[in-house]
Structure 1
C-alpha cells in the first residue's frame, strides 16, 4: 500500500504551547489536521487523543482546530472516517481494475495488505485495534465501524462473485465475509505475533492459497 503509507517519523511528542501560527485555508488545513490526527490516534491511542495534542502536532492553535472540528468526538469520527476512506478507495480501485483478472485483483489487495502491515512505519494495525476496542464502549464508533466493515466486506464478496461465477449470491457474501474476517485477523496477528510470525514472504504466499481456495471452491 505504498500510496497509502503514513509515515511515523513525526510521532514524537511536542509541547502544546510550542505550536506556531501557520497560514492555510479549508482545502489544505483539514487534510493536514486529519493527517496529524491519524498519527496521534495510532501512536497515543484513544486516551492520548486530544484536540490540544493534535493542534500542537499540526502546528496550529487549538482555536483553529476547533473552528474546523468543534469537539473531540467530531475530530475522532472524522479521523476514523478519513483512514477508512483511503483504504476503501484504494481497495475499490484494485477490485475494479479492468486490466487484470478478478483473481489477480484479489491477490493485489492481499499484496498491499502485507506491504502495509509489515512496513516499519505501519500505523494501520495500532489504529485499527484502537478503533475496535473503542467500538466496544462507544455506540457512535460501533455504528461507524459496522458501516466501514460492510463496505470492505462488499468489496471481497463482489470479487468472489467475479472469480466464481457459478456461486449463488449469498454464498459469495459468505465467502467474502470469510476472507474479510481473515483480513482482519492478519491485522491482529502480524501486530502481536512478533518473533512467532512466519517469514513474511512465505506467509503471504500461504495466505494467497487460502484466499484462492475460499474464492474458487465449488458450491
Structure 2
C-alpha cells in the first residue's frame, strides 16, 4: 500500500506542495515577496498571498496573523543575516577594522541584492513606520551601530569626534542601503560588482585612502570566506 503524504489536521492546502518544496510558512513569505514587490503591498490581499502560496486563506492565518505580520517577517529577513555577519566580524579583532568594515558592506549589499525580489524597497512603505515593525527597526538599528563601531575603530575613525562619527555612520549605512534604489532602477546590475564598488566607496567615506582599497578588499573577502 502506497503511503500517503501526511498533512496537519485543520490546515488544508488549496493544492499539494511539490516534493522538495518549501514549508508552508516559507511558501507564504515567498509568495508575499513576489506580490508585494511586483503588485504592491497595498494592492495585495492576504487571499492573493494564500492563493499564490497554494494555501487556503484560513490556513495562512495559522502562520501569520495578517498582512503586516508577513511584511514584518520579510523585512526582518533582510537585516538579521547581516547582523549575524556583523557580530561575527566584530569578534574577529585580529583583522583590521577597515577590512572588517569592507567585508560587512560587501555582505550587506549582496544580501540586499541577492534575492529574486527587491525587498529593500519595502523599507519605504509608510506602514513600516508603525509600532508593528518595532522588531525590524531594533535589528536594523543594531546593525547600524556595528557599522559605527567598526568605523570608530578604523585609523581615520579614531580621529573623529562624536558628531562626525555619527554623520559618517549615517552616510555609510545610507550608502549601503542605497543599492535598493539602484536595483530598482537597474535590476540587471551585476550584484558582485555593485557590492564591491559599494564597499570601496564606504571605505572612502570612512577616510581610507584609495591606495589601500585593493588590499583591504582582499582581506575582507578572506574574512568572509573563512566564516563560510
Range class of TM-score, shorter chain: 0.5 to 0.7
TM-score scaled by length of structure 2: 0.63
Distance 1:69 1:194 in 2: 30
Residue aligning to 1:101:
96
Q: Take 1:81 and 1:89, find their aligned partners in 2: how far apart are those partners?
A: 12
The structure-2 alpha-carbon separation of the partners of 1:134 and 1:111, relative to structure 1 and needing over 3 Å to count, comes to same
Query: 8 Å contact 1:46–1:134 — kept in the other structure?
Result: no
Residue 218 of structure 2 aligns with which residue? none
CA separation of 1:165/1:193 partners in 2, compared to 1, >3 Å: closer, same or farther?
Answer: same
- Structure-2 change in CA distance of 1:83 and 1:114 (3 Å): closer
Match of 1:51 in 2: 46
Q: When the two structures are superposed, what TM-score results if normalisation uses the length of structure 1?
A: 0.65
- How far apart are 1:127 and its partner, in Å? 1.7
The answer for the alignment partner of 1:174 in structure 2 is 167
RMSD of the TM alignment (CA)? 3.8
Match status 1:81 vs 2:76: yes
Q: How many residues align?
A: 191
* 1:33 to 2:40 alignment: no
The answer to whether the 8 Å contact 2:28/2:60 transfers is: yes
Deviations 1:152-207 (A, max 9, x none): 32121111011133433443222111111111222212431469x79974x65554
Separation (CA, whole Å) in 2 of partners of 1:132 and 1:114? 17
- Quick check: 1:50–1:72 contact (8 Å CA) kept in 2? yes
Paired position in structure 1 for 2:123 = 131
- Measure, in 2, the Cα distance between the counterparts of 1:36 and 1:96: 36
Shift of 1:146: 5.1
Structure possessing the higher radius of gyration over alpha carbons: 2
Measured in 1, the distance between the counterparts of 2:51 and 2:86 equals 32
- Quick one: distance in 1 between partners of 2:76 and 2:191? 32
Deviations 1:75-101 (A, max 9, x none): 333332333323333343344434532
Q: Distance in 2 between matches of 1:198 and 1:149?
A: 25
SS at match of 1:165: helix
